[in-house]
Amino acid sequence: MKVLLRNPRRELEIEGPRRVHALLADLALNRESHLVIRNGTLVPADEELAADDIIEIRPVISGGAQ
């Protein structure tokens, strides 16, 4: 599968299929700190990702009013 990482921006090819939580673990990324998007749709941690999916992983950005 094609994995697009943001911040820093890079692109990886990962063998699939695999579940979201396994992909994040392989990339040493924390699930609570990252959003996983498949073909434009946010996916849960137990979702199965196919070998031909395009996955985008974005860091969660938080902010608030002062």
pTM of the model: 0.83
In a domain, 8, yes or no: yes
Q: Identify the CATH number of the domain in which residue 37 sits.
A: 3.10.20.30
pLDDT tens-digit readout, 3-61? 999 878 999 999 989 999 999 999 999 989 999 999 889 999 899 999 999 999 999 88
Question: What pLDDT score does 65 carry?
Answer: 61
Q: Is 64's pLDDT higher than 70?
A: no
| Contact between 36 and 30 (Cβ < 8 Å) | no
Return d(Cα 1, Cα 52) in angstroms, integer. Answer: 5
Return d(Cα 22, Cα 1) in angstroms, integer. Answer: 13
Around 58, how many Cα atoms within 13 Å sit in the side-chain half-sphere?
11
In a domain, 65, yes or no: no
Count of the separate structural domains present in the chain: 1
Query: Does residue 59 have a cis peptide bond before it, meaning omega lies within 30 degrees of 0?
Result: no
